[in-house]
Every structure is written in structure tokens, then in C-alpha cells.
């Protein structure tokens, strides 16, 4: 089975329980920072790796948002949340490594806790693909985990790491910010929003010359 097939299998298994398992983290950690992904964005926006649709309440008014995810099982959860919220955002099953969108299709792309699920050797390719489909000058905004440098916090993360790998297929060692410039993008911003473990990254496609 290839990497995409592995990921589909993981999320087919966990999708019905995902929001329950992630509930306390969502309330205490993620919900307060999700708005950062969308602050000031307008136009056509891609929510890459939409998951169960946790970002939906933060979509900017008047923006045209499209959500994609590799997992049909997760998209089923996202559609239920969308319908409950009265949203009409379209969703599609797509791989962030090969979306199928035309060049420069979006004004911005956001991805929350997606790159930690991609393998280390997929980081640059995913950024290249997102860079292709965002317009020149457009932003790609990421929220993702990284290993803490604080010893006690790093120890706790190490205890959690096997569970995170089994349940979500994720790791703390992906560090997508290090792949921004090799992918031909500009690193516009990189800062921590939660301790030194959840990083907010803004990459920008260089303006057309």
C-alpha cells in the first residue's frame, strides 16, 4: 500500500471518533488560534486537509472557500458539520500532493495540522503543489506541530508520539517551515502560537516578474 493508501486507512478507522478524541485539545488549544489562519484573507481560499471541518466557523465572510481532504471518511464528518452550521462550502476528495486544480486557482491556501501527517519526504512536494495553485503573491498559511526544545515538554511529547503515530499517522518531526524556500516559496512568517510546539507559518508565492 502506498503512502496515500496508508493515510486513507488510518483516517477511515479514526474518522468516527476523531472529534471525540481530539475534543479537549480542540477546546483548549486549537479553537483559540484557528482564526489566525484566516485573518485578513479574501477571495478564493483553499482549506487543504479540511478534516472534520473544524475550520468552517472561521471562514471569512464573503470568501469563496473550497475544502479538500484525502479521506472520504473525514469528509463525511465535515459535511455533517457544514450542514449543521448552515454553510454551503464545497468539499472534494483530493491529495495535497496532486490536487488537480489549475495553476493560480486560489488567492490563499490554509492547512491546519496537515503537514504533520505527511511523510518527511513529502513536505517539499506538498508545498510545491500548493505554491502552484495559489496566485503569485498569494499566501499559504500552516498550523503544525514541532518538537519542543524544553526538556519536560519534549519528554511528554515523546510519551505521546507512539499514540499520535498510530492513531493519526502523524509525527512531530516534519517542520514544514524548513521546506518553504526549497519549494520555491518565500518564508514570510514563522512563529509559535502555543508554547514552542504549535507553529504558525506563512509562505508566499513570489510575485510574477
Spatial separation of the C-alpha atoms in residues 112 and 56, rounded to whole Å? 12
User: What is the structure's pLDDT at 3?
Assistant: 55
pLDDT over 50 (residue 119):
yes
Residue 202 backbone phi and psi in degrees, to 5:
-120, 115
Give dist(CA 56, CA 87) in Å, integer: 8
pLDDT for residue 10: 77
Higher pLDDT, 208 or 39: 39
Identify the helix (H) or strand (E) that includes residue 107: strand 106-112
What is the C-alpha separation between 126 and 195, in angstroms, rounded?
26
Tell me the average pLDDT across 21-30: 87
Considering the domain 3-204 in this protein, what is its CATH number?
A: 3.40.50.150
Cα–Cα distance, 117 to 142 (Å, whole number): 13
- Show Cβ contacts of residue 178 under 8 Å, excluding neighbours closer than 6 positions: 123
Given a cut of 70, is residue 5 above it in pLDDT? no
Mean pLDDT for 43-67 is 97
Q: What is the pLDDT of residue 1?
A: 41
pLDDT at 96 over 80: yes
State how far the Cα of 35 lies from the Cα of 25, in Å rounded to an integer. 16
* Sign of the dihedral through C-alpha 122, 128, 131, 137: positive
**Taking 60 as the threshold, does the pLDDT of residue 48 lie above it?**
yes
**Does residue 154 register a pLDDT over 50?**
yes
- Does residue 113 surpass a pLDDT of 70? yes
Report, in this order, helix, strand and coil percent for the chain, each rounded to 5.
Answer: 40, 25, 35
Is the model's pLDDT at 4 over the cut of 70?
Answer: no
- Rounded to whole angstroms, the Cα distance separating 88 from 59 reads 11
Mean pLDDT computed over 103-118: 97
pLDDT tens-digit map of 159-185? 999 999 988 889 999 999 999 999 999
Report field, pTM of the whole predicted structure over 0.85: yes
pLDDT at 123: 97
Measured CA distances, 41 to 73, 140, 157 (Å)? 28, 11, 33
pLDDT band at residue 121 under the 50/70/90 scheme = very high
Q: What is the mean pLDDT of residues 96-123?
A: 96
What are the residue ranges spanned by the domains of the chain?
A: 3-204
Q: What stretches of the chain show up as alpha helix (H) in DSSP? A: 3-14, 18-21, 23-25, 31-38, 72-85, 123-133, 151-168
End-to-end C-alpha distance for the chain, whole angstroms = 42
- Per DSSP bridges, beta strands 91-93 and 64-69 are parallel
For residue 108, the cross-strand partners are 45, 139
- Separate counts of helices (H) and strands (E) for the chain: 7, 7
CB of 117 closer than 8 Å to CB of 49: yes
Q: What's the chain's average pLDDT?
A: 93
Amino acid at each position: 500500500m502506498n503512502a496515500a493508501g496508508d493515510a486513507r486507512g488510518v483516517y477511515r478507522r479514526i474518522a468516527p471518533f476523531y472529534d471525540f478524541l481530539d475534543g479537549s485539545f480542540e477546546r483548549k488549544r486549537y479553537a483559540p488560534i484557528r482564526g489566525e489562519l484566516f485573518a485578513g484573507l479574501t477571495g478564493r481560499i483553499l482549506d487543504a486537509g479540511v478534516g472534520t471541518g473544524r475550520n468552517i466557523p472561521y471562514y471569512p465572510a464573503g470568501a469563496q472557500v473550497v475544502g479538500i481532504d484525502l479521506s472520504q471518511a473525514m469528509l463525511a464528518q465535515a459535511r455533517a458539520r457544514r450542514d449543521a452550521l448552515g454553510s454551503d462550502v464545497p468539499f472534494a476528495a483530493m491529495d495535497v500532493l496532486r490536487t488537480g486544480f489549475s495553476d493560480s486557482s486560489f488567492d490563499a491556501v490554509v492547512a491546519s495540522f496537515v503537514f504533520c501527517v505527511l511523510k518527511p519526504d513529502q513536505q517539499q512536494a506538498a508545498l510545491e503543489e500548493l505554491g502552484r495553485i495559489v496566485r503569485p503573491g498569494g499566501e499559504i498559511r500552516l498550523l503544525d506541530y514541532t518538537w519542543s526544545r524544553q526538556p519536560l515538554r519534549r519528554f511528554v511529547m515523546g510519551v505521546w508520539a507512539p499514540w499520535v503515530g498510530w492513531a493519526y499517522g502523524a509525527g512531530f518531526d516534519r517542520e514544514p517551515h524548513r521546506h518553504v524556500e526549497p519549494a520555491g516559496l518565500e518564508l514570510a512568517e514563522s512563529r509559535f502560537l502555543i508554547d514552542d510546539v504549535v507553529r504558525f507559518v506563512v509562505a508566499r508565492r513570489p510575485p510574477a516578474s
